[in-house]
Amino acid sequence: MASASSIAAAIASKTKTKKKHFVAQKVKLFRASDPLLSVLMWGVNHSINELSHVQIPIMLMPDDFKAYSKIKVDNHLFNKENMPSHFKFKEYCPLVFRNLRERFGIDDQDFLNSLTRSAPLNSDAQGRSGARFHTSYDKRYVIKIISSEDVAEMHNILKKYHQFIVECHGNTLLPQFLGIYRLTVDGDETYMIVTRNVFSHRLSVYKKYDLKGSTVAREASEKEKQPSQPEDVPLRPKSGNVQQRLQTLRIATRFYCAMKHVRDAKELPTYKDNDFINDGQKICIDGENKKMFLEKLRKDVEFLAQLKLMDYSLLVGIHDVERAEQDDVESEDNEPEDEGESDGGGIGTPPDSPSNTLDGTKPLSPGEFDPAIDVYAIKSNDSAPRKEVYFMAVIDILQHYDAKKKAAHAAKTVKHGAGAEISTVNPEQYSKRFYDFITTILS
């Protein structure tokens, strides 16, 4: 139950966070509208900085998969307008997840910056059982609120999951688990898991599907198909002098452009298997990409079947290159000239937050992406009807085939018949049907 000695020693002292790679900053502020997110930002910052003082072991030991680090903060007067006065932060298996981040090619400092430079963004998307999501402000990571049962299941599979990632050299369609945390605020415990975002941080998705290889009740409802309408951003100030109005217009327009990707995601319904079939949708990729994709998928689902896991999905997002280019032209037409002024930071970055160091990458052409970042992306082939980029990954893998699922299988079999393509089947049958279905949608 206790953490490994090296972790305990590193976490025990409540030292001030050291400043690294940041310009003109005295202290780090963690500003979020939700105090829980402020605590997450504070905790990740604390954890990564503490881990930087812990020597990387030659190999992970069995105790590392049971370890944790935790800290309790009382009377946290500094930054009290953003942070609760009393909170606890716990990280599970810190050395294991540090090792996983390394194997997934994620630098800890970049991970810290993504989660702490500016507040995570709310997402209207909901997972199984209404689980809430956030994305990091740069959209590279997804933060999901999970149950204590999910944490227990994650502990059950973590050792084998880590071994699988080592053996496949991180080349997988499975979720990239990067950290699990417990946050305690006002006596309430909240569990969060951080994964790499399946979708791109810069290429917008115009349609998405959740595919299980089942046909029973696998279509989006009329309610699910209705896009939610976000409130319009006021772009025209009612009063003030010309300079004030111009400055307000610039700020509002930048905010609009920064939130556009978020608003698009908010308005995007999630379609399902029957919708995919009825739409006549196909994933048009070349032979080499198809071969590599199916090989990864085969190994992934065999692994999940061995762990008796089922009810997972293939999340598919489609980026339309021409459509995105047109949207970009419209955005540029709506943005006023900056008259040489600069605010010195990225969108959504307050002046007393760390300066941006992630935006130094060279610009990419429309439809292009960095495969080291957009690891789930595949370009459409040359003969595809439209130039597209597909984002495809296996999600929601923590459902174990237990007595509850066996009972659901029996009930659905009675209702729909033994030959019906119901989603609740045993893990071996589920993995085979899932793989076979995915092979039919690739062309």
Is 311 marked active-site? yes
Of 275, 311, 320, 374, which is the active-site residue? 311
Residues 138, 359: Cα–Cα separation, whole Å: 10
The C-alpha angle with vertex 56 and arms to 53 and 62, in degrees rounded to 5, equals 120
Which residues does 94 contact at the CB level (< 8 Å), separation at least 6? 3, 7, 47, 51, 67, 68, 69
Q: Cα-Cα-Cα-Cα dihedral of 96, 202, 352, 15, to 10°?
A: 0
Which residues does 280 contact at the CB level (< 8 Å), separation at least 6? none
Of 28, 90, 139, 144, which is the active-site residue? 144
Pairing of strands 270-272, 207-211: parallel
DSSP 272-291: EHHHHHHTT--B---HHHHH
Is 72 marked active-site? no
Helix (H, G, I), strand (E, B) or coil at 7: helix
Question: 102-108 long-range contacts, Cβ below 8 Å, gap at least 24?
Answer: 103/165, 103/166, 103/169, 103/170, 104/165, 104/170, 104/176, 104/178, 104/196, 104/375, 105/170, 105/372, 106/178, 106/196, 108/48, 108/51, 108/52
Q: Are 331 and 257 in contact (CB under 8 A)?
A: yes
Cβ burial of 323 (10 Å; 0-12, 13-18, 19+) is middle
- Indicate which residues carry an active-site annotation: 144, 311
